[in-house]
A and B are shown apart, each in its own frame.
Chain A
Amino acid sequence: MSDRDLDLQLVERVRQGDQRAFGILVEKYQRKLMRLLSRMVRDQHEVEDIAQEAFIKAYRALPQFRGDAAFYTWLYRIAVNTAKNYLSSRNRSMPTVSDQAMNDEDEPDERLVAQDIATPETELLSKQVAIAVNQAVDALPEELRQAITLREIEGMSYEEIAETMACPIGTVRSRIFRAREAIATKLRPILGTADDKRW
């Protein structure tokens, strides 16, 4: 099942009344969406408010989602329009934003939105997480580190990783899982996802 198929299946479940499936989509795309919005709105709290509104609008509009475009592309358009309306209602224009990046009908070019506009606060928090992740990745055994890096940074499929690492696909799957578990254990206190804070 491809990433897009997974999204479509989640959407279908939401349309059948399963709100939790929408939670997975929120979890999956919140950071990407906020990174996009941070190109349009500087204040981090406003970014989160707009992102939240965009997700709610998307949820309401799901019955009209036909799956012609990828879910994120569709969500992206909703988010951009929500941000534009938000700024317009406050007589503000989009700052330092590439019109090309924000007005494209299709998914934004990642290169155009690659530079985050980070406030000192978010920059500090991001650095904190980034450092923790780097340390956790560095502490992994070589085969786990290589597997998770090939997957998350290079975007390779399990089959490609298996070829690269000359091991069975099942082993790749296991290594990536164990790498994630090891990193998650170290990140939980920082991410605030301890058992008592889980939703």
Chain B
Amino acid sequence: MKIHVMTESTMPSQSEQQNSPAESRHENLSALIDGELSDGMARIAITQLGHSPGDLARLGEYLAIGDAMRGLNTRHDGFSARVMAELENEPVVLAPVQKKRESRPTLWLAAATAAAITWVVWQSNPRDDLAVPLASVQQTAPQFDEASPYLAAHQDFAQAVISTQEMRFTKASLEIRP
């Protein structure tokens, strides 16, 4: 039998026990402006705000209350609305999201594999090194020919499999520089 012990931190708040969905959403807004929501919950709350002008106005009220309590002038009727109306004439800001550069392990793996095969072939035929390698590779991997179109289409997932056509594909890919 499991016994669930509720600690202070896991205990639901008074309102969580009885809030309606709307009230829960508004309570989240209240916690959001205090910086007391987790990242995930904050993302959800902000997303919901985008779909609910009423909630956005409520958020403004909460902020105005805090400012009023700190003695800031809260009478700027319609200021937000004027700014937002002005922004409607502005092009939407679309800045590229900075992503970490994705590494291409498949390319490196294919390049390393090709280099290794070339080296092995060259080692086994040191006197015919200039003429033989590619022909040798083609002859050692005929069993993959049937699967080549599939592998070419799914090259990112066919990491260690080398076929003649894939070799050609890999060569083309290697020319793309990051």
Contact = CB atoms under 8 A, between A and B. Distances in A.
Given A27-B80, A158-B34, A191-B61, A16 B73 contact: no
Contacts of A126: 73-75
A26 to B, nearest CB: 5
B149 interface: no
- For chain B, the bracket of interface size reads 35 or more
B54 A198 contact: yes
Nearest to A133: B68
Nearest to B8: A168
Given A30-B80, A56-B83, A170 B13 contact: yes
Interface string A16-58: 1111111110111011101100100000000010011001100
B121 interface: no
A176 B14 CA distance: 12
Contacts of B97: 12, 15-16
A178 interface: yes
Interface stretch (B37-45, B150-158, B165-173): B37-45
A26 B9 CA distance: 33
Contact of B68 (A60, A130, A171): A130
Contact of B59 (A2, A22, A27, A59): A27
A121 to B, nearest CB: 9
Given A16-B95, A169-B9, 8 more contacts: A9-B39, A19-B84, A34-B76, A52-B79, A126-B73, A168-B9, A177-B26, A198-B57
Interface of B: 8-9, 11-16, 26-27, 30-39, 42-43, 46, 49-50, 53-54, 56-84, 86-88, 90, 92-95, 97
